[in-house]
Structure 1
Amino acid sequence: MQAKVEGGELLELPSAQPRSTAAPTLYHFPISLGSQQVRLALAEKQVAWDGQIVNIGPAHENLEPWYAKLNPRLVVPTLVVGTTVVTGAVRIAIFIDEHFPGPELLPSDPEQRDEVLQWIEIQDQFPLRELGYARTKGMVRWFQRWSLRQQRSRLRRLIRKNPELREIYEAKRVELDGLERGIRHRVGMSELVDEVEVLLDEIEVTLEEREWIAGPNYTLADAMWTAVLSKLEQIGFARSLRSHRRPQVARWYAQLRERPSWDSMIRRLSAWQALRFYGPSVAKTFLLFWVLKWMVVIGIGWLVAHLRG
């Protein structure tokens, strides 16, 4: 039975069951924010799952036609459970809580549930990707810009080879153009930094009256924010999370890191993984620069010698 993605978010065919016992397959990438959030939800629910890494680094496997048909937004994560395909980290996390046995992450009480969903929406709407690009420096910054250019070139080739996927690829190209304009807008990026600090202040006040972000119990909102705080720490907001600045946020973040799900699902790339995912493209790029450099040097040397002769 062929799958058809409805709205690029959730597909549920008639044969799909309301509650699944089959092991889901997660298409993900180790350091992807959304992938980390979904892995946390799976860990907290104690769901066994199969994983397939989609290299969203220089290899751009997320742009491949087979993945475009699975997830038209061309992003990770994607969850497949039997004949059901779910995309979008928030949608997947909620799906996991509603369709698999395990600890309840979304309260059954309507008011408590609404507050959990509100905190989830706050983190989901915040442009962390743009902020992450803007906060990088040096070679990492250059490499990210180079990667964006490579993606656009790859999309143009894929459109020519796969005209039936033109609409999907064109939408991605427009998205990348908007991303690049956003990260070049320094005033806008400065405002985003200020917004992070204001948001952390709001969380600090909220946590003065409760143990977890949405109430007395750990919920899906805490799982989603775990990955966000980890990301903020990586991109230069570590001081903002410390106890001398925001003691309640620091206490909360420490509690999140102490949970078993942290070690298994919040991952950094190992040296081997970094070499595997980024090594070939980096080596190819620097080899090209090296060749061009020596071609220029030899050419200038030949020209100087020719003029002297």
Structure 2
Amino acid sequence: MTDIVLYDHPASICSQMARLALVEKAVPFRRVTVDIMDTNEQFEPWYVALNPKAVVPTLVIGDEVVTDTINIVNWAQALNGPDLSGGPTTQDWLKDIMAPHYGVLLYRNRLDEDGTAPQITARGRLLRKMLQDQPDMAALLEGRIAGNARFQELLRDPQAIERHLASTKALVQRMIGAVESQPFLTGPAYSMADAFATAALARFRVHQLDAWWQGSPLEDYYGRMRARPSFAAAGVVETGHEKDM
């Protein structure tokens, strides 16, 4: 069988979504951790050659490379094995669950009094140094530097943070509505949408936002997702401190 390798990071929400889908699909794969936190390994030339956007996860199947989380889970669904296609709304759910600015949720409680996020500032310095040292990666690094600056400005705007929180809460409310009358997000069977929802709800729990669904049908839903063997097998992260992410 062709070797299937998932390049990922344990705490990356997108990596968790991909791992859940692969495990549920019963795809045999091995993991290679890319250190996107301490050493910024995602910018190493060997990894950029696999994933020009320098993000995780990346799935490698022999000579084939699949990037983008939605592409990865759709690739897995095309294989033989359990059907994770779900109902007609599955692809919409994948996009909608990917839509929240998970960085805002993470850093909103890690700001200095002036709204500056020290970790984002440090990342900006590192990216500028990398640009000096690796001018051949200018296009990628300049884009990241600009994005880093935009993110810092967003975090300085309390109203923008509240808008992101409100849109994320609205997504949770839609999930609640979806599972009021059916066991899974898109119908009677587990789908790729449930893999995405499980990882998202776990991240919201880390951010102490689980009060949004306590006492609702989504609380039971999340309990059932946690009880599935895939939750532990995929290494879903639902505990710990934001500083560890």
TM-score (norm 2): 0.89
Cα contact 2:205–2:238 (8 A) shared by 1: no
Deviation, structure 1 residue 35: 0.7
**Is residue 231 of structure 1 aligned with residue 175 of structure 2?**
no
Aligned to 1:101: 80
**Is residue 157 of structure 1 aligned with residue 129 of structure 2?**
yes
Identity of aligned residues (%): 25
Aligned to 1:251: 220
Deviation, structure 1 residue 269: 9.9
Question: Secondary structure, in 3 states, of the residue corresponding to 1:35?
Answer: helix
Aligned to 1:80: 60
Aligned to 1:261: 230
Letter in 2 for 1:67: Y
The equivalences for 1:96-135 within 5 A come to 96-98=76-78, 100-107=79-86, 112=87, 114-135=88-109
Question: Secondary structure, in 3 states, of the residue corresponding to 1:236?
Answer: coil
In structure 2, relative to structure 1, the CA distance for the partners of 1:71 and 1:163 (3 Å cut) is same
Counterpart among 122, 126, 144 of residue 172 in structure 1: 144
Deviation, structure 1 residue 268: 4.1
2-side partners of 1:185 and 1:126: how far apart? Answer: 17
1-side partners of 2:207 and 2:238: how far apart? Answer: 15
Deviation, structure 1 residue 213: 0.6
1-side partners of 2:204 and 2:148: how far apart? Answer: 22
Question: Which structure 1 residue ranges, 4+ long, deviate > 3 Å from structure 2?
Answer: 135-138, 266-271
Deviation, structure 1 residue 222: 0.4
Deviation, structure 1 residue 77: 0.8
- Is the radius of gyration larger for structure 1 or structure 2? 1
For structure 2, which runs of at least 5 residues remain unmatched after alignment? none
Letter in 2 for 1:52: V
Counterpart among 4, 12, 31 of residue 11 in structure 2: 31
Cα contact 1:39–1:265 (8 A) shared by 2: yes
Cα contact 2:206–2:238 (8 A) shared by 1: no
2-side partners of 1:215 and 1:269: how far apart? Answer: 25
Count the aligned residue pairs. Answer: 240
Question: Secondary structure, in 3 states, of the residue corresponding to 2:66?
Answer: strand
In structure 2, relative to structure 1, the CA distance for the partners of 1:269 and 1:255 (3 Å cut) is closer
CA deviations over 1:59-111 (Å, ceiling 9, x no partner): 2111222222221222111111111111111111111221x33211114xxxx
Deviation, structure 1 residue 215: 0.8
For structure 1, which runs of at least 5 residues remain unmatched after alignment? 1-20, 272-276, 279-309
2-side partners of 1:228 and 1:149: how far apart? Answer: 26
Letter in 1 for 2:227: E
Question: Secondary structure, in 3 states, of the residue corresponding to 2:207?
Answer: helix
Cα contact 2:202–2:238 (8 A) shared by 1: no
In structure 2, relative to structure 1, the CA distance for the partners of 1:61 and 1:147 (3 Å cut) is farther
CA deviations over 1:231-266 (Å, ceiling 9, x no partner): 0011021212212xx2x1111111111110001213
Letter in 1 for 2:57: P
